[in-house]
Amino acid sequence: MKTLNSIAVEYLLRNDSQNNNTKSENITREVARLHQEQDLKNQQSLLFQLYYLEEEGEDFFA
C-alpha cells in the first residue's frame, strides 16, 4: 500500500513532467515559427538578388 507521501511525490513528478512537456512544445513551436520566418526572408533576399542581377544585365546590354 502506498503512503500518502509516496502518492504526493508521484503526483508532483507527474505534474512537473507535464509542465516540462508543455514548455518543450512551446519552444518547439517557437523554433518552427522562427525557421519559417527565416526561410521567407531568405527567399525574399534571393528574389531581390535575382531582380538586381536582371536589372544589372539590362543596364549592361543597353
pLDDT, position 7? 84
Query: For the whole model, what pTM was predicted?
Result: 0.56
pLDDT tens digits, one per residue of 5-56: 888 888 888 888 888 888 889 989 999 999 999 988 888 898 888 888 888 8
What does the block give as the cell for 51?
531582380
For Cα atoms 31, 37, 39, give the angle at the middle one, nearest 5 degrees: 100
* DSSP structure class, residue 12: H
